[in-house]
Structure 1
Amino acid sequence: MEGSSGPKPLSVYLYIPNIIGYIRILMNCVAFALCFSNKKIFAILYFVSFVSDGLDGWLARKFNQVSTFGAVLDMVTDRVSTACLLTVLSQIYRPGLIFLSLLALDIGSHWMQMYSTFLSGKASHKDVKDSTNWLFKAYYGHRPFMAFCCVGSEVVYIIFFLIAERQPESVINAFVSVIQRRLFLLLLFSLALFGWAIKQIINIIQMKTAADACVFYDMKRNQ
C-alpha cells in the first residue's frame, strides 16, 4: 500500500540472515556436485552450511531481522540438504531402506508439525510449551541441546559417507570400520550417535504430537 511504513518485500529478501540462507543453498549445490569426486570438500561445505543455520538465526535476532520467509527458508534448506545426503547414502549402503526410512521420518514429522502449528495458530513450529512430553519441550526449549542433536545427526551421516570404501557397502561393515579406526573417530561417532538417537526419538514424538493436534482440531471443528 502507498504510504505504508513497513518493510518492503525486497528489503526482507535482502536481510542479512536471508542472504546467508542463499549462500547455504549455493554451498550445498556445490557440495553435492562434488560429493563423489571430492569427499573432503563435500564434507566441509555440507557441514559449514548446516552449522551456519545457527549463525543466521543469531544474526536475525541481533539485527532484528527475524522474518517468516527466513524461518521457512532455513527449514526447507535443512530438510532438502539432509534429504539429499540420505538419498546418496541409500545408494551407497545396503539395505538402503534404512536411510530412506530416516528420510521419510524426518520429512514427515516436520511437515506434520508445521501443518499442526498452522492449525493451532502458533507463530512457530518450535512453540511446544503446551506439550506434556518433557523431552520434546527440552529439545525445542533449549537451543544448545537442539543444536547438539541436529549437528550430531548430520555428523553421523557425514562419517558414514566418508568411510564408505565400496558400493554397495554394508551398514554393519561400515559401523565396524568406525570402531576399528582411530580412537578420536570412535569418540566423535559415539557422541554424534547419541545426538542422532535423540533426534530420531524427537521426530517420532513430533509426528505423534502433530497427528494428535490435527485430530483434536477436527474434533473441535465438528462439535
Structure 2
Amino acid sequence: MESIRDPKEIDKDRNEIEMISNKRKENILLFVPNIIGFIRILLAFVSFFFMPKNPIPALIFYFLSAFLDAFDGLAARAYNQATKFGALLDQITDRCGTLSLLMILGTFYPEMILFFQLIMIIDIASHWIHTQVSIMIGKSHKSISHDENIILYYYYNNRPLLFGLCFTNEAFFILLYLVHFFNGPTIVFGLGMFQILLLLMLPFAFVKNFINMLQLIEACNRCLKIDQEEREKMRTIGEQSKEQHRKLN
C-alpha cells in the first residue's frame, strides 16, 4: 500500500522540476548573433549622434556597425542559433541605418530631397513586404526560386553579387555624405578622390535600387497569389458545405 506523501514534499518536487525546466529554456535574446545585432544598433546610434557635424567619428562607428553585419550570420550558423527574431533584427538594423544616413543627406542636399525620399520608400517598402510574405509562407527572405524571378534568384543565391551590390550601394551614400565635408585629394579634371569614387559607385547603386524595385513588385505578386489561393480555398470549402447541407435536406 502506497504511503500518502506530504503536500510540502510534492510542492518541493514541483518547484525543483520547474527550476530544471527553466534552466533548460533558452534565452533567444542572448544568442550570440542577437548580441551582435544589439551591438550594431548601439554603434549605429553613436554614429547618428556624430553625423551632422563630425564625419570622422560618424563614419568610424557606422563602418563598425556595418562590419559586424558580416558576423551575425556566421555566428548563427556556427552556434546553430538562427532564429526568426535574429533575421528580423538584422533586417531592421540594416534598414534603419541606411534610412538615418539618407535623412542626414536630405539636410545636406535639400535640392535632392525627393530623390532621397524615393530611395527610402522603395528600400523600406520592398524589404518589409518581402520579409512579411516570406514569413507568411514560412521561408527565409533569401529563398527565391528560379521560376519566381530569375534576377532575384541570382541576387540572393550569389553571395559575392549580393555582398558586392549591398556594399557599393552603401558606399555610394557614404561617399555622398563624405563629399559634403571634403572631396579628397584632386586626381583628374579637378575632381577629388572621393568624388571620383562616388561616380564609380553610381551605376552599382542604380542596379541595387532597381533590384529593390523588382523585389517590391515580386513580393506584391506573391502576396496577391497567397490571397487568391486562400480565397479559392474558402470558396471551395463554402461550396462543399452547401453541397453537404443540400444532401442532408
Provide the TM-score with structure 2 as the length reference: 0.76
What residue number does 1:124 align with? 140
- The separation in 2 between residues aligned to 1:114 and 1:56, in whole angstroms, is 18
2:35 aligns with 19
Give 1:105-144 correspondences, 5 Å limit.
105-119=122-136, 121-144=137-160
Greater relative CO, 1 or 2 (CA 8 Å, sep 6+): 1
Amino acid at match of 1:110: H
Q: Report the structure number with the largest CA radius of gyration.
A: 2
The residue number in structure 2 matching 1:156 is 172
The alpha-carbon distance between structure 1 residues 36 and 126, as it changes in their structure 2 partners (threshold 3 A), is same
Following TM superposition, by how much is the alpha carbon of 1:222 offset from its aligned partner in structure 2, in angstroms? 2.0
What is the identity, as a one-letter code, of the residue corresponding to 2:212?
N
- Greater shift, 121-130 or 101-110, is seen at 121-130
Aligned amino acid, residue 127 of structure 1: S
Asked if the contact 1:34/1:42 (under 8 Å) is kept, the reply is yes
| Alpha-carbon separation, structure 2, partners of 1:180 and 1:196 | 23
After TM superposition, give the deviation of residue 87 of structure 1 in Å.
1.1
| RMSD value, Cα | 2.9
Q: Higher mean Cα deviation, 130-139 or 86-95?
A: 130-139
**1:71-220 mapped onto 2 (5 Å cutoff):** 71-93=87-109, 94-119=111-136, 121-165=137-181, 185=194, 188-220=197-229
Q: Which amino acid aligns with 2:231?
A: N
2:44 match:
28
Q: Deviations over 1:145-188 (max 9, x none)?
A: 1111111111111111111159xxxxxxx9xx998566754563
Gaps of 5+ in 2: 1-16, 233-249
- Residue 60 (structure 1) aligns with: 76
Q: Separation in 2 of the partners of 1:23 and 1:115?
A: 25
Report the CA distance shift for 1:210/1:13 in structure 2 as closer, same or farther (over 3 A): same
Q: Secondary structure at the match of 1:66?
A: coil
Greater CA drift, 154-163 or 47-56: 47-56
Q: In the superposition, relative to structure 1, how do residues 147 and 8 fare at CA in structure 2: closer, same or farther (>3 Å)? A: farther
**Rounded Cα–Cα distance in structure 2 between residues aligned with 1:197 and 1:138:** 17
Q: Structure 1: which 5+ runs fail to align?
A: 167-173
Q: 1:92 to 1:186 in 2, by over 3 A?
A: closer
Q: Which residue of 2 aligns with 1:171?
A: none
Asked whether the equivalents of residues 155 and 192 of structure 1 are also in contact (C-alpha less than 8 Å), the reply is: yes
3-state SS of the aligned residue for 2:68?
helix
Secondary structure of 1:96's aligned partner: helix
Return the TM-score normalized by structure 1: 0.84
Q: Report how many residues are paired.
A: 213
Give the 3 Å change call, closer, same or farther, for CA 178–71 of structure 1 in structure 2: farther
1:45 is displaced (CA, Å) by: 1.3
